[in-house]
Chain A
């Protein structure tokens, strides 16, 4: 069969895999909702969780679409569609595809026409990303049981333990926001863009919390994270024009 990176058969295969991925999410969603009802979690809490998670996801999901477009030039549409819908993230998939293509002396700026190169690239990308998918089913239960032991020892420590985990993650991303600020001393102000956006978003988040109480508008607090995310991204446009 004549090969093309956008061959209908490849689209159909990717479509089937993605349908299974959606089915898994729907399955776990229904089970969790049923269990929530059984143990008496308030319906309004569930409704808010569903709505705010959906709204929050929109902007990051659109950035994933932008990633599919960026990779589609060389790999066609279905492969980046699959790789960014199942496990992958743009930074990983770009590196994996680049390294695989480099083995043929090629790069991401030209379309693949040889099916052998295509299938080799698919293997490299699939194999490289599979760790989490293989290890989670094997170790998730053991890790959770281990956590239970730590937590059972002491109730107060349990709460500090989870807060410490989250703060550890957040501090790493906070460091990343500041990673290029030192360039200011070389006259390059672009490193300040993420810092300004970070603080703008933090201020908007805090304002949402305060205004929600003062104006008695609970929804402002419930949707504070999506509001601060989108406002922060919007502010990035003039800030980039100013400092970029």
Chain B
């Protein structure tokens, strides 16, 4: 492996990722400013503070944990794209995981970095384009997407996604899977507060727990 080139490609991804990231951040915060200017209003500061306090502490805590958890799995290019376009655990990460699995590359290699970036870039472009089409066709689409026939299909998207993804990764790591699966089943079945809204918080818990179990099993020579 050509180590020198490897470093320079990754370094350039980090450099460009930072430039794009901070530029988008600036544009995103310009949006409410411009809305204020155009309609000559200022935000209601008291309500803004109240709303921000109700939302920010939890989502910032989750944000910190998500960055630490997902960056190693997504790779550099994939991470810079995913944290802009969102829908990481329900779309971008499964997409990149499947692509790396099919291409038989590891996320911590340069090949993995490239395949993950391509997969997430394509997924982001397709998502954005489909949402644009959806916005253009919103009037004819609304009755279709809200129809009682199709609603259950979208409601069950996550189980349908993780059934397919799960069988691949669990069958390849049966011994390592047992402890985290038992823990998560026990937690989710017994604690009513754990549901679709809180599954995101449990991902880092699952990751850290599985890493600890893996380390112990590895040291004892079980895996």
A139 to B55, CA, bound (A): 23
Contact B184 A174 (CB under 8 A): yes
Contact B156 A233 (CB under 8 A): yes
Q: Is the interface of A mostly helix, strand, loop or mixed?
A: helix
* Given contact pairs A169-B207, A202-B166, A137 touches B51 in the complex (Cβ within 8 A): no
Q: Is the interface of B mostly helix, strand, loop or mixed?
A: helix
**Which A35-80 residues have C-beta < 8 A from chain B?**
35-36, 39, 41, 45-46, 48-50, 52-54, 56-66, 68-69, 72, 77
Whole-angstrom distance from the CB of A21 to the nearest CB of chain B? 6
Contact A27 B16 (CB under 8 A): yes
* Given contact pairs A35-B9, A177-B159, A232-B164, A136 touches B210 in the complex (Cβ within 8 A): no
Contacts of B55 in A (CB 8 A): 95-96, 99-100, 124-125, 127-128
Contacts of B203 in A (CB 8 A): 168-169, 172-173
**Which B145-185 residues have C-beta < 8 A from chain A?**
145-146, 149-150, 152-173, 176-177, 180-181, 183-185
Q: Contacting B121 at CB < 8 Å: which of A28, A58, A137, A176?
A: A28
Q: Mark B115-150, 1 if CB is under 8 A from A, else 0.
A: 101111111111111111011001001100110011
Q: Mark A171-182, 1 if CB is under 8 A from B, else 0.
A: 111111111111
Contacts of A199 in B (CB 8 A): 163
A182 to B5, CA, bound (A): 54
A233 to B181, CA, bound (A): 23
Contacts of A182 in B (CB 8 A): 189-190
A213 CB-CB contact with B under 8 Å: no
Whole-angstrom distance from the CB of A167 to the nearest CB of chain B? 5
Q: Contacting B35 at CB < 8 Å: which of A63, A77, A122?
A: A122
Number of interface residues of A (CB under 8 A): 155
Contact A164 B162 (CB under 8 A): no
**Which B48-70 residues have C-beta < 8 A from chain A?**
48, 50-52, 54-56, 59-60, 62-64, 66-69
* Given contact pairs A21-B24, A49-B99, A65 touches B52 in the complex (Cβ within 8 A): no
Contact B16 A233 (CB under 8 A): no
Q: Contacting B158 at CB < 8 Å: which of A26, A86, A161, A173?
A: A173
Kindly list the 9 A-B residue pairs having the minimum CB-CB distance in the complex, ordered from nearest: A131-B63, A232-B160, A201-B163, A175-B184, A65-B134, A228-B164, A168-B207, A240-B152, A236-B156
Given A3-B39, A21-B124, A124-B51, output 4 extra A-B contacts at Cβ < 8 Å: A116-B44, A169-B89, A176-B158, A178-B185
